[in-house]
Amino acid sequence: MLLTKCYTDYWVCGLKVTMAKVDIHYFNQALRCAQRQGIEREAILDQLGISLSDDAVHVDDHEMTRVVQYVWATLEDEFLGCTKSPCKRGTFPFMARHILTFPTLGQMLNQAIKCYSLMTDELAMNLQVKGDVAEFDFTFSHSEFDPDYFFREFWLIIWHRFSSWLIDEKIPLTQVSFNYQRPAHHQQLKLLFPCRHKFGDTSIKIYFSAKYLAYSGVRSQTELTQFLRRSPADLITIPGSDSSIKSQVLARLVHQEQVNFVCPTLEVLARSLNMSAQTLRRRLRSEGTSYPQIKDQIRLDLAMEYLRGKKHTISDISSRLGFSEPRSFTRAFKQWTGSSPSRYYGNK
């Protein structure tokens, strides 16, 4: 599911552990899936007993779950009306029970691919390993039936969450690709997927370390029964380290409304996380990263998005990323990628 997670005094998009909230954008998109099929929004809310204020920015996660379940049941379509032909209800449970008998995540995902290839022509799934990176991509035959990208993002979440659930360990993503240009809600995507993003690709795709494909499945059929009974609620939960300090720092930095990327000092950031700068530095080090590395990761992500768009000069990008001058940005970009931004700009 597409969620923001409540920590202490701020919202972090991603996973449900305690008091989770869904951004109103995704709640509205789920309702529009039904509206495109002729079902009135207010009729749905009335039937489910959900009341929203005009200025609502979040809804409770259980309300989002109920809306998705309603759309599934009413349309009798697991693809939520976002494909040319529906996917019959029961397809995902059938697939899940089948793949659970295989020993490793890689084998389970390959079996899932075979299942969906037999059950629908709307979707092509592919898993491949390149070096030490696994690429899991999805191509929908008629993406025009998903005009607001809701189901494609929902599908990425499902497979990332479900894969993590199968091995009972969060799988960190290294990159996510989308087969559309950067949308207006791209900041939500950055919180949802705190990794490198690529827009305008040929398919939607998640990238992660191939080592996880060798991990053993640890779930029983009884656990799966409970999981399916609560679905899609459990698809908004990733086991493991979603509450890592790195993820909290990323969420703080990427959720900015201003044009220019601004980083607080380590001391200010640490206070916002209710710890000392020394503790924050130590905990990031224990997770194999540092505050400068996280800042560089975000700057590189933003720089490559700007360069791909070809709408900004090198000087403009340098200023937006908080560099004192274009030469400083150029040096940093070369260190990150081995190429100058002007060369990358020209090649793109």
Distance of CA 236 to the CA centre of its chain: 11
- CA–CA distance, 173 with 135 (Å, rounded to integer): 10
Residue 16's pLDDT is: 32
First and final C-alpha spacing in the chain: 33
Query: 228, 213, 265, 251: which is closest to 8 by C-alpha?
Result: 251
pLDDT at 254 (0 to 100): 66
> What's residue 9's pLDDT?
30
Q: What is the pLDDT of residue 13?
A: 29
Q: What is the pLDDT of residue 335?
A: 86
pLDDT of residue 227: 85
| pLDDT at residue 36, rounded to an integer | 93
Predicted confidence at residue 239, as pLDDT, reads 47
Please give the chain's pLDDT, 348 residues, in tens: 454 343 323 222 233 333 356 778 888 999 999 999 999 999 999 988 888 887 778 777 778 888 998 999 999 999 999 999 999 989 999 999 999 999 999 999 999 999 999 999 999 999 999 999 999 999 999 999 999 999 999 999 999 999 999 998 889 899 999 999 989 888 778 777 878 899 999 889 999 999 999 999 999 888 888 888 878 876 655 444 445 788 778 777 765 556 688 888 999 999 988 899 999 999 998 878 899 988 888 888 778 777 876 778 899 999 989 888 999 999 998 888 887 888 766 544
Instruction: Walk me through the domains of the chain, giving residue ranges and CATH numbers.
Output: 4-236 (no CATH), 245-347 (1.10.10.60)
Q: Over the Cα atoms of the chain, what is R_g?
A: 21
Give CA 346 to chain center in angstroms: 30
Instruction: Please name the residues in contact with 62: beta carbons below 8 A apart, sequence gap of 6 or more.
Output: 233
Provide the pLDDT for residue 20: 57
The predicted pLDDT at position 243 comes to 59
